[in-house]
Amino acid sequence: MENHSNNEVKPVLFIAGDPTHGFGNHEHPGGSKLLADTLNRADIHIQAMLDEANNRITGAN
């Protein structure tokens, strides 16, 4: 693993497909958005983005 001692922000892209489960079940796009949002709030020099099935990037600054 590389050692990144500087404050360079690393991009992370989550690619989520169409919702495939019924109401109340696991939802891949929703879980990916939750994870990306959580990583963006953490102080770990990551910019997480989500590319949903409609190719809309969210979370980018």
HEC assignment per residue over 2-31: CCCCCCCCEEEEEECCCCCCCCCCCCHHHH
- CA 34/CA 7 separation, integer angstroms: 24
Percent of the chain with pLDDT over 90: 26
- CA 54/CA 34 separation, integer angstroms: 18
pTM over 0.75: no
pLDDT of residue 53: 61
pLDDT of residue 47: 93
For 21-49, the pLDDT digits (tens) are 666 666 777 788 899 999 999 989 999 99
pLDDT of residue 39: 93
* Mean model confidence pLDDT for the chain: 76
